[in-house]
Amino acid sequence: METTLQVLQKEPIVPFVVLLAVILVVPPLFERIRLPGLVGLLAAGVLLGPNGLGLLQEKSQALKLLSDIGLVYLMFVAGLEVDLEQFNKTKHRSIGFGICTFLVPLIVGTIVGRTFGFGWNASILIGSLFASHTLLAYPIVSRLGVVGNEAVTITIGATIFTDIAALLVLAVCIGIHAGDFTPLKLATLLGSLIIYTVVILFGFNWAGREFFRRSGDEEGNQFLFVLLAVFLAAVGAQLIGVEKIVGAFLAGLAVNGALGHGPVKEKVMFVGSVLFIPIFFVDMGSLINVPVFIRSLTTPQTLGLTVAIVLGLILSKFLAAFIAAWMYRYNRREMMVMWSLSMPQVAATLAATLVGFRANLLTENVLNSVIVLMLVTSILGPILTARFAPDLVVADLEPEEVTGSLNWDESEGNSLTVVVPVYNPKTERYLLELAALLVRSHSGCIVPLSIAPGHIHMNDPQITNTLKRSQALLAAAVELSREMGVEAKPLIRIDDSIAQGINRASREQNASLVVMGWGRRMGFQARLFGSVIDSVLWGSHCPVAISRLLESPTTIQRILVPIENLAPRSLWVMRFAQVLAEATQAQVTLLHVSDPTATGRFANRPGAARIAWVRSQLELLADKVSPNSPPQIEIVSDDDVVRAIASVSKSYDLVILRSSPRRTSAGGLAVSDIMPRMAERLTCSVIMLGEPQPGATAGLIGVDTEKAKQPPFELGRAEG
């Protein structure tokens, strides 16, 4: 009689249920003990795989399908996350460093392979594993505000070169391994690969732009188009004898421009981040044979291979950074940041290793060594980045370059136009009062806006009822504006999408600011189904103030502005706070949360010296914004930023936070949200400011807005 375990193993739905439970539970548990969630997924794969409890069988077709989808999705997201704009800024130097950080590790890795008895084909493939890199430490340089440093920029740009080149080497090595090697077959493979690459990069890019232009706001169809593109590219790669992950990466690059940074891209990356990519890492863990893994770290021969791979990668990446720094005359700190940023091996390396292992080109010892390599570099790289990045120098922005985005002084006639979408009568008054305080001193006007959802038939009774409700809301808004002594220009708009209607009306009115109420949908639910706030932030041409006002803004006397990033980008948030404070005669306080374990320029000095330096920097920023009535400055030491802000905010009437774009990390794997925690802990009124740029989604203050690659709503701290 079959046991319960044997029965469950035969049921194809069981592996999927197990995987969902692992993805939901394991990563947060590992993050609580300060280990990456990715490590937790690998450990779960080891425990549940054929070498553990046996719930996940290697021969399971369901698991193999989901893992293959995750593998393809991983490389697609890696291509999708490549910042083409960043690459174009310094493309020549990016290519130069890309060549260095590709060729040097490739040569070292090949030497390692040959030293340990591998053939030329397998040795070159091992070298290609060294050549790529994952920008795992990007969130650190982002929140420190040093993304504008040229050394950082070219390291980011080099990613596109190293990933493509490493995948092309993989394709050639697998192609050679699959059949008899002849120069003619190699030439045919390379020719097919070149034609295929051109077709994908240019053909899919054109098709994507055309489809998105014609489909308008049909996000569902656009999402399906992106999925079709990635898997069609993967199938096409296999048809010409190339690994499917090559096609997936090229597809990510191809649709990058068409997707932009809108809600469709967010949903595409979200599906991969919470489902398919974690399944790939669990399956990767299931391949690890614990006795063999332990033997690879204890047996002299296999231990030597592991040590050679780890040290070879670290030293070769250092040598590449040294050569590039010498060529472009970068200083030691910039060289160290280039080295640390290009060191971590996660996405492309693991994907290529699995492909080589499945093709019997790489041994199990190499697979285990690469797992160790991933763990070492993913820890060491960010540590070194946090150590040296705070000392980088970035060219300062002029104050008008930052505060100008608020249009306080640049609007026609020195006026300010604030659009206030009205929907909830309970919050309408406070939002209008906030807008009135801002426009009163700038001879501006308020545009109360009501969006009526459209229907196919414009004589539908539901539209009539909605319009009547909108007219009542706007009439109340006009009356409130009259009480507050400001001009109101009410506007009703019929639109299929509330968010699109708000953005289009704001653009038509040439608005300087949009003031919205804080929606209830947050966290996982918002990421899965989206929210009006997210969509407005993605598409708005001007700043957006998302407000949760517990009392009338006219009574505000103490305003708290947490400042993490000691860079001129923080000026526009301070400028907003100062304008509001002048209207209510309130006092502004700048709060900086200092990590007790901070690294950087003042890491080895007493805490007082570091705090004094931070205070001096904040005073310089404050003087640029308001030289006549500078805000107060408060610095607290705490390793939990949310807790620190929540504690200090108890004696304040309003906290002003700054939003930033959010991106996934570690090849698309992101599990934790911090915004729900912040919303729950703050007991006073809150205003979250979103900058007018593509792709901005609700995050928190202090993260640089140059496309922060980090888990959603992550709040960090300045560490220097």
- Residue 371 in this model has a pLDDT that exceeds 50: yes
d(CA 331, CA 623): 31
**82 closest CA partner among 103, 98, 106:** 98
| pLDDT confidence tier of residue 697, bands split at 50, 70 and 90 | very low
d(CA 515, CA 447): 10
- Mean pLDDT over 262-288 rounds to 78
* 645 in a structural domain: yes
DSSP three-state, residue 284: helix
Mean pLDDT across the chain:
75
- CATH number, domain of 341, equals 1.20.1530.20
The reported pLDDT for the residue numbered 315 is 93
**591 closest CA partner among 717, 406, 403, 434:** 717
* 594 in a structural domain: yes
Per residue in 486-530, pLDDT (tens digit) is 888 888 888 877 888 888 888 888 888 899 887 554 444 444 334
Name the domain boundary from 357, 391, 425: 391
Into how many domains does the chain fold?
A: 2
- Mean pLDDT over 329-335 rounds to 87
Q: Please state the pTM of the whole predicted model.
A: 0.62
- Mean pLDDT over 166-171 rounds to 81
Least confident of 300-314, 358-372, 615-629, 657-671: 657-671
For 197, 329, 395, 668, the CA distances from 150, given in Å and listed in that order, are 29, 11, 10, 25
Q: Would you list the DSSP string of 368-392?
A: HHHHHHHHHHHHHHHHHHHHHGGG-
Provide the H-helix boundaries in 287-424: 290-296, 300-328, 332-341, 347-358, 364-388, 399-403
- Residue 232 in this model has a pLDDT that exceeds 80: yes
Domain boundaries, position 587:
548-685+696-720
The reported pLDDT for the residue numbered 531 is 65
Residue 180: which residues within 8 A CB-CB, separation 6 or more?
none
* 169 in a structural domain: yes
Per residue in 575-585, pLDDT (tens digit) is 888 888 888 88
Name the domain boundary from 338, 371, 391: 391
* 668 in a structural domain: yes
- Residue 451 in this model has a pLDDT that exceeds 90: no
Q: Are 515 and 431 in contact (CB under 8 A)?
A: yes
The reported pLDDT for the residue numbered 317 is 92
The reported pLDDT for the residue numbered 519 is 58
Strand-pairing partners, residue 690, are 544
- Residue 395 in this model has a pLDDT that exceeds 60: no
- CATH number, domain of 700, equals 3.40.50.620
Per residue in 128-154, pLDDT (tens digit) is 888 887 777 776 776 666 766 788 888
* 103 in a structural domain: yes
DSSP summary character for residue 396: P
Name the domain boundary from 374, 391, 408: 391
- Residue 696 in this model has a pLDDT that exceeds 60: no
Residue 499: which residues within 8 A CB-CB, separation 6 or more?
532, 534, 535, 536, 539
* 143 in a structural domain: yes
* 418 in a structural domain: no
* 422 in a structural domain: no
